[in-house]
Amino acid sequence: MGLFGNSHETVYVGLGSNLGDRAGNLLLAIRGLLEAAFEVRRLSAIYETEPVGMQSPDKFLNMAVECSVTNVTPTQAMARMLRIEYILGRGDKSVKAPRTVDLDILFFGDRTLESEFLTLPHPRLHLRKFVLVPLAEIAPNVVHPKLGLSVSELLADCSDESEVVRWQPSMSVPSDAEESYQTLRSIIG
């Protein structure tokens, strides 16, 4: 709690996209987080992964973001992220289908929560390499408040055998997406 009752929390967000300009969608989602009063502190690299739990020929681009929020509850943060998804063309979040963008709260400080709307930490993060690989890049020592293991330990113990490859933009991807990503990383530090 801050001097005037301000509550600051570190929030880790997982981002994914497998429709349209995947890299551009991730960058727009990060911009949306900034506009929704998330202070973006760190970005992982972008990783290309196979879809998990859905039938889709299109691979995902995934990444993790470390943010800070002030005087925002987990439910308020999730509502802001759902709005970003909606603005960027995401359909029904409950449907396992290809998507322009997907934002998930992975950790909200060390809070735990189970509600109809939100579960913290994310209930499947420890089972998914596409979440753990980018998260371990920016938060290897963050401890899962329910499992008592660090992110790097969760990754080492993860039985998911899916391929998670650091994304390298090809000639088919507009060069401005990579330039925008590098600029964003340099601004954030």
What would the pLDDT profile of 55-103 be if each residue is shown by its tens digit? 666 899 999 999 999 999 999 999 999 999 999 987 666 566 678 899 9
Measure Cα distances from 174 to 102, 141, 179 in Å. 21, 35, 9
Q: Where are the domains of the chain?
A: 8-168
Region of residue 5 (left: phi > 0; alpha: psi -120 to 50; beta: else): left
Determine how β-strand 8-17 pairs with β-strand 60-70: antiparallel
Q: Who has greater pLDDT, 92 or 9?
A: 9
Q: What are the catalytic residues?
A: 90, 99, 102, 104
What would the pLDDT profile of 110-119 be if each residue is shown by its tens digit? 999 999 989 9
Q: Which fold has domain 8-168?
A: Alpha-Beta Plaits (3.30.70)
Instruction: For residues 16 and 171, give the distance between their C-alpha atoms in angstroms, rounded to a whole number.
Output: 21
| This prediction's pTM | 0.87
